[in-house]
Amino acid sequence: MRFLTFILAFVFLLGISENAKAENESSGNATWHDIVSSSSSQNKAEKKRKFQKAVMLANDMSRGQDITFEQVMKDPDNIKLNMAYAKTQIRQGDIKGASATLERMLRINPRLEEVRLLYAAVLYRLDNMTETKEELSKIDKRALPEKSRIEYDILKKMIEQREKKTTWSGQLSAGINYDTNRNAFPEDETIIYPNGSMLKFQGEEQKDTSYTFSAYLDMERKLGRKKKHSFFAGGSYYMSRQSDISSLDMGIISGKAGFNLNSRIFTLSPQIIYNNIKLDGNSYMDTAGAALRSNHFISKKISAYAEGKYLNQKYENSLSYKNNSERNSYTTSLTLGLRRILTPKMTIEAQGTGIIKDAKTDAYDSSIMEAALKHFWLLGKNTYLMTSFSVSEEKYKKKGENSFANIFLQAAGKKRKDTSSRASLVLGFPLYKDISMNIGYEYYHNDSNIQSYTYTNHKGSCTASWKLPL
């Protein structure tokens, strides 16, 4: 291990020495030769100390570890050291600082093509399209290594896409899900009434596999001379087909349209919403309403958001759901959230939601409180891991009027209350070009003061997605 470290340090510092000679022969900075072949008057302990520091610095840079400003100041004309420092600033979210570092490097030597490419990418992150294009025009693509040429083409394509007045995005997905309790069979097969009598459910938990397909298409049109605001619209379709429980075959059609109104520190997005849900081929519920969302940037790493919704939910009667229209309701909700960037590859988000349902039949009036915690981790090479946990409580305002719930609750003197918890884990990774794969697991448990509504389900999923080249 020590021998390998010595070789890495030797090769790295030899490269620094050659660059320093080529870029600035009169700089007077210490080179590899200065360290290992100093005059006899130099103290042996001092030579050893300098050598050890050089090895440590080489190791840090080779592993992509953070470089400090103090390290740069000890050798300010060292190109590789400055480049490593700029990448450290980017990792830490200091994009403006990285811009200044890279600009200073280019003033020393304008012929550093890879440095200029990174500088153009940083300017793109800072939303400075004019200077980004100017820097790209100065780059001789032929002088770049193969990997950097690919990055050059990607950046150029991103600029072209961003400057379009109208942009489109879409995706097609297909997958398979497996549920351990798709019929939501209660955990306790025997219900004990308050008066001591018992009722035993017939049946058991039913495992089932479903096959899914989904698609979406979104459009955004920039508005105004500065293209600061935009109009957006989009639609999506989701279909799920069960292997065994066909009554739970599902189809969902959704649509939205609205505006993004942008200022320096926040975005305001009013929109209208519509969706239709079908179960077993029959229309189950229509939802229409409006939403208003606001995103506020507190700092470079922290943002807050709030979203209010008002929806009219209309349930349709069918052979499977004969009295479904009694659930018709007006639903009002408010969501508050806080998102923090922990590192350039990791974010965490906390969210709270309150919902009030005012139904046609009082038995379905309810209030819901939910709290959620989400974590996103970019693992590298377009691979990511998303985890989330949420807990909610739904309280019904009046006793149930259906036969079973009414008997049980009136006898117990209670109103229905459900507490549910959900935990999920999703791993996403690329397969080929614009095709990616998601593998997920979800745990769901609903606990209710009506025993027939207490159940647990485990769900596994695998989905392949193709991002449409629009």
- Judge whether 188 and 451 are in contact, CB under 8 Å: yes
- Residue with token string 């697991």: 441
Res. 79: pLDDT tops 90: no
In terms of Cα–Cα distance, which of 93, 89, 65, 90 is closest to 341? 93
Indicate the pLDDT class of residue 31, thresholds 50, 70 and 90.
Answer: very low
What is the mean predicted confidence (pLDDT) over 41-65? 49
The whole-model pTM stands at: 0.74
What value, to the nearest 5°, has the Cα angle with vertex 346 and ends 439 and 469? Answer: 55
Cβ–Cβ < 8 Å for 233, 226? no
In angstroms, the CA 188 to CA 185 distance is 9
Nearest of 311, 223, 215, 312 to residue 260 by alpha carbon = 223
For the cut 80, the answer to whether the pLDDT of residue 350 exceeds it is yes
Phi, psi of 193 (to 5 degrees): -75, 160
Report how far residue 296's alpha carbon sits from residue 168's, in angstroms, rounded to the nearest whole number: 25
Tell me yes or no: is domain 2-162 CATH 1.25.40.10.
Answer: yes
Look-up of token digits 């798709």 = 182
Q: What sign results for the dihedral spanned by CA atoms 86, 92, 93, 94?
A: negative
Across the range 192-219, mean pLDDT stands at 82
Which comes out higher in pLDDT, residue 149 or 55?
149
Of the listed ranges 63-72, 115-124, 146-155, the least confidently predicted one is 63-72
> Within 10 Å of residue 56's Cβ, how many Cβ atoms?
12
Rounded distance between C-alpha atoms, residue 335 and residue 371, angstroms: 10
Q: What is the pLDDT of residue 319?
A: 81
- Label residue 400 by pLDDT band (50, 70, 90): low
pLDDT tier at 345 (50, 70, 90 boundaries)? confident
In the structure, what pLDDT confidence band is assigned to residue 383 with cuts at 50, 70 and 90? Answer: very high
Tokens of 107: 């003033």
Q: What is the CA radius of gyration of the chain?
A: 30
Amino acid present at 155: L
Return d(Cα 144, Cα 423) in angstroms, integer. Answer: 46
Backbone conformation region of residue 168, classed left if phi is above 0, alpha if psi is from -120 to 50, else beta? beta
In this structure, the dihedral spanned by the alpha carbons of residues 334, 336, 337 and 338, taken in order and rounded to 10 degrees, is: 170
The arithmetic mean of pLDDT across residues 301-318, rounded, is 95
Q: Sketch the domain layout of the chain as residue ranges.
A: 2-162, 168-467
Asked if 355 and 368 touch (Cβ cutoff 8 Å), the reply is yes
Confidence tier at 191 by pLDDT (50, 70, 90): low
Confidence tier at 93 by pLDDT (50, 70, 90):
confident
**pLDDT value at residue 194:** 55
Contacts of 217 (CB under 8 A, 6+ apart): 168, 169, 170, 234, 235, 236, 468
* For residue 288, pLDDT beyond 60: yes
Nearest residue to 13 (alpha-carbon basis) of 2, 5, 25, 1: 5
CATH match of 168-467 with 2.40.110.10 = no
Spell out a b/e string for 333-346, using b for 16 or more CB atoms within 10 Å of the CB, else e.
bebebebebeeeee
pLDDT for 193 equals 57
Q: What is the reported pLDDT for 200?
A: 67
Indicate the average pLDDT of the chain: 83
Higher pLDDT, 453 or 466: 466
- pLDDT value, residue 287: 97
Q: Give the model confidence (pLDDT) of 231-287 as tens digits.
A: 999 999 999 999 999 999 999 999 999 999 998 888 999 999 999 999 988 999 999
